[in-house]
Amino acid sequence: MSWLLIDNSNTRTKFALGDATRLSTWRAWLPTAEISDASLNTLLAEIKIDGVLLCSVVPEKARIIREHFEPRLPFHAMSARSRLNIGIDYPQPEQIGADRLANAVGVGAAGAPAIVIDFGTAVTFDVVEEGPTYCGGVIAPGLGAMQDYLGKKTALLPRIDLEEPAAAIGKSTIAAMQSGAVYGYRGLVKEIIARLRAEMTGSPWIVATGGDAALIARGVPEIDAVDPDLTLEGIRLTAMLNMP
Give the Cα separation of 92 and 37 in Å (integer). Answer: 33
- Closest to 18 (Cα-Cα) out of 29, 3, 30, 32: 3
CB neighbours (10 Å) of residue 133? Answer: 17
Region class of 200: left (phi > 0), else alpha (psi between -120 and 50), else beta: beta
Strands (E), the chain: 3-8, 12-18, 23-31, 51-56, 75-77, 87-88, 114-119, 122-129, 133-141, 205-210, 225-226
Which residues are catalytically annotated?
A: 99
Strands ordered across the beta sheet of 122-129: 87-88, 133-141, 122-129, 114-119, 205-210, 225-226
